Amino acid sequence: MSDTNEPHIPIKPQTEAQNPVPPIPPVPSTQATTKLSPPSEALANVSDVGSTDDEVYAKLKAKRAERRRRKIRRRAIIGGFIAAVIILLVVLVHIFSQKPDQLTEPVVDMATRGEYTTTVRASGSLEPLSATVITPEVTGTFSEVDVVAGQTVQKGDVVLKVKNDDLDRTIAEAQRALKTAKRNLAAAREAEDMLNSDDTEGVDEKGATATANGVEDAKAAVEAAQATLDQAIAQGDKRTVTSPLTGSVVAMNARVGAPVVGTGERAGEPPVMIADLSQMKVTVQVDEANIAKVAVDQEASVTFAALPELTLSGKVTGIASIASNLGQGGPMGYHDPGGAGATFAVDILIPEPDPRLKPGMSAQVSLITERIEDVIMVPVTALQTDDGEHFHVNVQVDPEKHTYESREVTVVAKNEDMAVIGRPADVVSDMPESPVADGEALIISGGTPVNAGSSDHMAPTGAEDHGSAPRDGSSEATAAQGEADARGAEGKAEDGQQGSTENSEG
């Protein structure tokens, strides 16, 4: 009976069971729940919708968790960057807040006693003091080359020989002409002798005169032939070239079999050049700013790039009167296209050169333009000044604490490196005595003044000579006046207090 009373539930077709309910959006599922259907079908649809919402919620929850993780990572990166910036700022503040004497040690140098020199530096090339280019005076080809580059030769030594067939023929013809002239002279004399002999009779005066004239003509012909021969021989002797001086062969371009080229055709390549290397010179270019300091006979020190250990003494022997870069344009034709200024040639003689030196080597010259012996010098960097006219130096007092006292100095002479501040105490001269002794340490930068509480420099020894005593006296007077003012103020305060007490009692 239960089977007959049980309501009939229709079964869905197979095609409808295979189509699931769409998971998103929820609106269709709501519409599906409102759709009229049998109770079993409604329950099945509700079950399917609930399952889909759980999946959507799980995905949504996963996305929110991922977004939270990304936010946390971004915040962590930003926080780390901000922390790094804060740490960097703290470090920078700590570094810049330190005092300078905590960062670096004071720079200290020394006062020295010795010879002061001012130099002008320039560079040039080494040259022989005298050199001779040897070129054959005749044409032809070189038949012998008897010397090599670098060889030492004496005056009169054979250097090379030239072959010239034309000269040989000219000499041979002159010799033959001379022989002919001599035979003619002999015949003329024989005729004259026969004319003057006792056996000759009937010779008229006219014939005698002709015979005598023939002898004179023959003599003249012989003399002319001899002169021609001598000239041909002299020209032929020029085929042998000898050295005109004692020196060294510094250039050799002649080759056996090569033609002799006339002077001027290859002027840049002389056949032979012989130079006297017993004395050499360096020609340097000095700019117009320093040329006025250079004078003839000034001493010079010469060094060489090829021989860095070698230093030679030299002397100024010549100074050009006009600029070396004289050209077209401007007053007197002076032209300076690069704007570098005029330069002047200065010759430096090296009286005793080293045998290893060769012409053409580069040389560096230091011209000594000023020399002062036995003085006290300080580095230019040690000079301190407030107005550019009066100078002082900071003399170290305590090496451990790096304290110093300031001493006024007089600058006698100065160059790029050193300054003369006076003579030593044991030297008598017109130069003022140096307030700094030889070997005293000077603080270039840093350190602490001994009188750190006062803005005035400490007076040097012998301050009366430098005008420092009045400054110290003024400081003492100011201090005394300050004490008097303090005592006066204290007395006024006591009087005021006493007056107020009396008034309160009254």
Residue 110 included in any domain? no
Predicted confidence at residue 378, as pLDDT, reads 96
Residue 15 included in any domain? yes
Say if residue 80 is in the same domain as residue 173. no
CA dihedral of residues 122, 128, 132, 135 (deg, nearest 10):
-80
Residue 341 included in any domain? no
Question: Which DSSP category does 454 fall into?
Answer: -
Residue 193 has pLDDT above 50, yes or no: yes
Sign of the CA dihedral running 243, 244, 249, 251: negative
Token digits of residue 231: 């000239």
Predicted confidence at residue 207, as pLDDT, reads 57
Mean of pLDDT values over 188-204: 65
Angle at 148 between CA 143 and CA 153, to 5 degrees: 100
Q: Where are the beta strands (DSSP E) in 62-102?
A: none
- Tell me, what CATH number does 433's domain have? 2.40.420
Domain boundary among 84, 106, 139: 84
Q: Picking from 33-47, 99-113, 121-135, 150-164, which range would have the lowest pLDDT averaged per residue?
A: 33-47
Predicted confidence at residue 340, as pLDDT, reads 59
Residue 269 has pLDDT above 70, yes or no: yes
Residue 217 has pLDDT above 90, yes or no: no
Q: Is the pTM of this model over 0.75?
A: no
CA distance 247 to 278: 8
Residue 502 has pLDDT above 60, yes or no: no
For the chain, give the mean pLDDT.
77
Domain boundary among 68, 84, 100: 84
Residue 8 included in any domain? yes
Predicted confidence at residue 104, as pLDDT, reads 63
HEC readout, 399-442: CCCCEEEEEEECCCEECCCEEEEEECCCCCCCCCECCCCCCCEE
Residue 137 included in any domain? no
Predicted confidence at residue 187, as pLDDT, reads 81
Residue 332 has pLDDT above 70, yes or no: no
Residue 381 included in any domain? yes
pLDDT band of residue 250 (cuts 50, 70, 90) is confident
Predicted confidence at residue 320, as pLDDT, reads 93
Strands 343-350 and 311-319: antiparallel
Q: Decide: 162 and 138 in contact? Cβ < 8 Å.
A: yes
Please list, in sequence order, all residues whose beta carbon lies within 8 angstroms of the beta carbon of residue 5, skipping any fewer than 6 positions away: none
Predicted confidence at residue 53, as pLDDT, reads 82
Distance separating the N- and C-terminal Cα atoms of the chain: 131
Domain that holds residue 11: 2-84
User: Which has more confidence, 416 or 491?
Assistant: 416
Residue 285 included in any domain? no
Token digits of residue 345: 């040639």
Q: What are the tens digits of pLDDT across the range 350-393?
A: 999 998 998 899 999 999 989 999 999 999 999 999 888 899 99
Burial of 141 (0-12, 13-18, 19+ CB in 10 A): middle
pLDDT band of residue 262 (cuts 50, 70, 90) is low
Residue 302 included in any domain? no
Predicted confidence at residue 305, as pLDDT, reads 92
HEC readout, 279-320: EEEEEEEEECCCHHHCCCCCEEEEEECCCCCCEEEEEEEEEC
Mean of pLDDT values over 282-308: 92
Predicted confidence at residue 30, as pLDDT, reads 41
pLDDT band of residue 319 (cuts 50, 70, 90) is very high
Number of domains into which the chain is organized? 3
Q: What are the tens digits of pLDDT across the range 136-156?
A: 888 889 999 999 988 889 999
Please list, in sequence order, all residues whose beta carbon lies within 8 angstroms of the beta carbon of residue 260, skipping any fewer than 6 positions away: 136, 138, 139, 140, 141, 142, 162, 271
Q: Picking from 200-214, 216-230, 456-470, which range would have the lowest pLDDT averaged per residue?
A: 456-470
User: Which has more confidence, 475 or 158?
Assistant: 158
